[in-house]
Amino acid sequence: MASKILSHGDADGICSAALAKARFPEAEVWFTRPITLLRDLNEIEVGTVVFILDIAVSETHKGEIFERMRELAQKDEILYIDHHPLPPDTLKKDIPATQFAHEIGASTSEITFRLFESDINPDLDRVALWGAIADYCEETEFVRDGLSKYDRRTIYMEAGLLSQALGEAAGDYHYKRDVVHKLAQGKPPTEIQETVDRALKATKREWEVWRYVKKHVTREGNIAIIYDLPSGSLGKAALYALGVTGADIGICTRKDEDEVDVSMRRRAGVKTDLNEMLRHITVRLGGSGGGHEGAAGASIPADLFDTFLETVKKEISPVISRDLTLKR
């Protein structure tokens, strides 16, 4: 019976796919994103077992995605495992999957491991730890217990190498599939060909991005902005912008033909929910966006980017309350 794994291409998605691959070794691995999930689901034949891992539901295409999932679920299994906030006005029972595992705060890797734990090699908990650490989801009981089983420094080193190498790989899906297969077999990142070299290359580039941010970041109110980053990680640049300027919100953009990709980060302790804000704004502008409370991204039509940015500025501007005790 045909089966396909649709996974995000970052470290958490890759580790989740590896754990699913360990449980279902015949499954074919595809990489997708929230904005392309509908297209990829439409390409899958009815009668295929489908695993959707670490992919947020795009609010813009929610209705169409759910309808296609219902069509696929009528003939076979659909397992949906994720940790992103659901779209507004969406309950877990609304997800038309035959099995839906969802938990905010834990990584998708952790959730996947716990779901398949009784049917796979218990030593693959390392894969779940690497995915969790790479996605900044370490504050769970599962991760704390796992780190007491291994040497913490070794686990973090492997997670860092994996995350950096996958960031460098970008659209190299051949390499990413090889990583999924090797991790599913129990191999650590340091034993996967090209991983160390790719990680070193990516780290060198990140320091270049950091220097670029220091030189080109602009601060507009309490927002630090990098416009049109030439190369490198938008998310990392947005994070560096916070550190360089001391602002509460960091934004980095890159224009790609008729769209602008945007990544946003917030400083620890800031209350703004970036996921909720971007979902609400982008659905009005015809783009797509979302992620987590403190780290989110969006794709915006280029001709509407100025409107998008002005809306963001208004949404995160401080609320100034009127002191009714003051006399004119």
Q: What is the DSSP string of 121-150?
A: -GGGHHHHHHHHHHTT---SHHHHHHHTTS
What angle separates helix 108-116 from helix 125-134, to the nearest 10 degrees?
160
Q: How far is CA 126 from CA 61, 68, 93, 166, in A?
A: 35, 34, 31, 17
Q: How far is CA 10 from CA 58, 126, 136, 260, in A?
A: 18, 17, 12, 20
Is 90 exceeded by the pLDDT of residue 29?
yes
> What's this model's pTM, rounded to 2 decimal places?
0.87
**Mean pLDDT, to the nearest integer, of 316-328?**
47
The Cα–Cα gap between 260 and 304 comes to 9
What angle separates helix 234-245 from helix 195-216, to the nearest 10 degrees?
40
Question: pLDDT by residue (tens digit) across 235-289?
Answer: 999 999 999 999 999 999 999 888 999 999 999 888 888 988 888 888 888 778 8
Domains of the chain: 3-197 (3.90.1640), 217-316 (3.10.310.40)
